[in-house]
Structure 1
Amino acid sequence: MRTALVLGAGAVGVSSALHLQRRGWQVALVDRQAPGRATSYGNAGIVQSEAVEPYAMPRSWPALLAIVAGRTNDVRYDPRALPLHAGALLRYWWHSAPSRHRRIASAYATLIRSATAEHGDLIEAAGAGALVRTGGYRVLHRTAAAMDAALREAERLRSDYGVAFVTESPDELRLAEPALKAAGAGAILWPDAWVSSDPGALVESYAALFRRLGGTVAIGDASTLAKPRTGWSVRTSDGAVGAEAAVVALGPWSPEVLKPLGYSVPMVLKRGYHRHWTVERTLRRPLMDAANGCVLAQMRQGLRITTGAELTGRDAPVALAQLQRAEAAAAELLELGGPVEKEPWFGTRPCMPDMLPVVGPAPRHSGLWFNFGHGHQGLTLGPASGRLLAELMSGEAPHVSPGPFGFIRPAVAG
């Protein structure tokens, strides 16, 4: 029987482990904490099947100056941390040019189109249907100009990719979401997205399925990854564990684990925050407030208010300005009670400069495989990229072309 270590127990790692297990591999899933407790826990809980294009960096001077001046809440930055991000950010900006972004998006869309189907397969097998509902989510626009621009973009996505959307006037939005105090200029509903009321628990349910089918989950230190004479090993609380193959699915921690092996992985690390609030009346579907870069999503813990991206140091202290602005914006839309937690949660999104995840073999080490760099879409893409990785490791025909997702990117480098 073939054996593998999967390092990282988020949505990507757990999905990789399950798909390998289905193909006859004996798998040990290793992380420093329980499955679904890191970045996979803290997102807005949306499986975004409509997100067929990755987030590009703004290229216009007005948009860039708005970020520099702090006028937008989508992206904030700590000037002291910019030197840490400079190289990767410059490459991100270069890849965000329209012609390059189109090539990148054409590859990205092949993977994200299978997101809901792959989740559906695991949800059924794990018996996790109570944690997920269909029906989509909304993006609210506060001004007529913003709504008109969003509608043009939605029509382009429908034309180019066949993505479905529904336009809702302010009156239609108020009828659909009676809890709203204000409806702005209306909203766009993305009806094909799926929503989880507890994304951390969803990943835990996938891990529980993995255990029931004979998989091993261990607490361990991925930085101890080593290559003995044959195969790979890592130290866990139960001692060293070895296997013929190792998968690095550690999200933002992947670069530091791979650096001792000679791999330089440029990555834009985007911190995101959330806090739960009590509310008098709940939202029926998650709502993104486009003007303030935040998502309001009803979770089992309360109304989760999530932020956009903060560029800061990996170990930087909590900075509340972005979250506080999001919470103030939420209070304009809903009757908020009080915060459930005194301190907010925060985590880091692992964004590759070309916006594509890395899925495939390591170029210089036999038996070493990569599955990381999913940016804002780790929850969405985990099962799809986990399947692709397992297909490649098992010698099967992949369900999407793997070339654009390899460690070396000839398909999108031009």
Structure 2
Amino acid sequence: MAGRSVLVLGGGMCGVGAAWHLLQRGFEVTLVDRRGPGEETSYGNACLIQRECVEPHEFPHDIRMLARIGLGRDNSATYHWDAMPGLVRPLARYWLNSRPGRYRSIVRSYEALIRHCLSEHAPMIEAAGAEDLLARVGFKQLIPTETDFDAQTASARRLQREFGVNSTVLDADALTASEPALRVRMAGAIHWTDPWLVRDPGELVKRYAALFEREGGKIVQGDAMTLTRKGAFWTVGTDAGLIDASSAVIALGPWSDRLMTKLGYNYPLFIKRGYHLHYKPDVPLNTPVMDPVAGMVVVPAKRGTRVTTGAEFAKLGAPPSPRQLVGAEARARELFDLGRAVEDAPWLGNRPCTPDMLPIIGAATSHPGLWLHFGHAHQGFTLGPATGRLLAEMMNGETPYIDPLPYTPSRF
């Protein structure tokens, strides 16, 4: 199959999503991962396909919030001092891109992807027989005080008006009735009704990967860092020996930067880490709950109630630092009867982020047959099938269903 063979490097949602879409277009596809599908970043998220997330996480401009983060008093964002020298330039660009005028332009490009997340997951879920993992229940964003209630409800109405994002405003009584497990009275909540709960995100990736194999794709374990160009082919070392193909897709999430650097590129990718731990409460939640005080999401997952954290700025591979999860657990125990922890140690994952909050999708600028599909930040699990389709259409010479220009690798 000359010119139609592809190596997809990375077995997370982005890699599997791209591999499946390429297979549908007649490519001969081999998926390469050092472990197995769905065992890294895609495993440990907040269990949501986030249709409501039309506005990416912007860099805060509020001086008081920045001071709280800098002084270590805001649990939603923490940092390692030794990582900061390498983060100065990308974070400065992140801050500039979060200024109102530029941010609104970025939101338009981001929303163009998010609007397709459910419709692109849906056929894969059906074909993979994964309906048992889903609950179409949305999630609730808590509003702790009356001071915040009007602003939060106005923001929800704006997202409905501008982007068609559906939500229901719950007052204190309605929230209490809908979540008996909540033992602290809040001012209310925004119930975002569009998102889908996935009770085991890693298992959904595995179901998609099994679908890919059933339909003719190959999955092998290998070392993506061995990728080299030899003549007209890309070659990578695997447990099955050297495998070559006419094209290669880099979908390695936070590890993409290491391979890109080896190949001579310099993308401003940086890492936001996140943690989770599961608990066994007597009364589970009916829907996931997001608490802005601790920057956490509490989720009724397959293994128990999953408590997830916000963003930790650190080097890739740095030792775990439990402070953020400790703060999240303490807050979660104020709100709910969490019960005992299921695991002895928390899970730690890495989110690959770009300064303009948009993923990198498209052809590499200096190597023929090399394609890039990474930088999805908090939403790789949500967007993997949607951006995988976009990439596959570009590689197949089709007219893309989304304008690919905002995500082009050449913008950096």
> Where on the TM-score scale, by shorter chain, does this alignment land: which range?
over 0.9
SS at match of 2:254: helix
TM-score (normalised: structure 2):
0.98
Partner of 2:189: 187
What is the deviation of 1:236? 0.3
Runs of at least 4 residues off by over 2 Å: 146-149
Contact kept? 1:359, 1:370, Cα under 8 Å: yes
- What are the Cα deviations for residues 229-253 of structure 1, in whole angstroms up to 9, with x where unaligned? 0120100011011000000001110
SS in 2 for 1:343: coil
Alignment of 1:180-329 (within 5 A): 180-329=182-331
Matched residue type, 1:379: F
Q: Report the alpha carbon displacement of residue 165 of structure 1 after superposing the two structures with TM.
A: 1.1
Aligned ranges for residues 374-389 of structure 1 at < 5 Å?
374-389=376-391
SS at match of 2:230: coil
Residue from 396, 404, 407 that aligns with 1:405: 407
- Give the unaligned 5+ runs of structure 2: none
* Partner in structure 2 of residue 46 of structure 1: 48
Letter in 1 for 2:308: T
Equivalent position of 1:106 in the other structure: 108
Alpha-carbon distance, 1:5 to partner: 0.2
Alignment: residue pair count: 410
Retained in 2: the 8 A contact 1:77–1:311?
yes
Decide whether the 8 Å contact of 1:140 with 1:183 is kept in 2: no
Letter paired with 2:31? L
**CA apart distance, 1:84:** 2.1
SS of the equivalent of 1:107 reads: helix
- 2:164 aligned to which of 162, 165, 186: 162
Answering whether residue 87 of structure 2 is matched by residue 79 of structure 1, we say no
Q: CA deviation at 1:178?
A: 1.1
- What is the TM-score when the length of structure 1 is the normalising length? 0.98
Query: What amino acid maps onto 1:8 in structure 2?
Result: G
The one-letter amino acid of 1:359's match is: I
Name the stretch that deviates more: 393-402 or 144-153: 144-153
Task: Judge conservation of contact 1:76–1:311 (CA < 8 Å) in 2.
Answer: yes
Q: Give the secondary-structure state (helix, strand or coil) at the position aligned to 1:155.
A: helix
**CA distance in 2: counterparts of 1:300 and 1:366, whole angstroms:** 43
- In the TM superposition, residue 287 of structure 1 has moved relative to its aligned partner by 0.4
Q: 1:50 is aligned with what amino acid?
A: E
Q: Is the 8 A contact 1:289 1:295 kept in 2?
A: yes
CA root-mean-square deviation: 1.0
Does structure 2 conserve the Cα–Cα contact (< 8 Å) formed by 1:88 and 1:266?
yes
Q: CA deviation at 1:364?
A: 1.2
* Residue 69 (structure 1) aligns with: 71
Question: Counterparts of 1:82-101 in structure 2 under 5 Å?
Answer: 82-101=84-103
Partner of residue 148, structure 2: 146
- Counterpart Cα distance in 1 of 2:214 and 2:317: 36
Within 2, Cα distance between the matches of 1:336 and 1:369? 44
How far the C-alpha of 1:268 sits from its partner, in A, is 2.2
Q: Distance in 2 between matches of 1:65 and 1:319?
A: 21
2:122 aligned with 1:120 = yes
Asked if structure 2 preserves the Cα contact closer than 8 Å seen for 1:141 and 1:291, the reply is: no
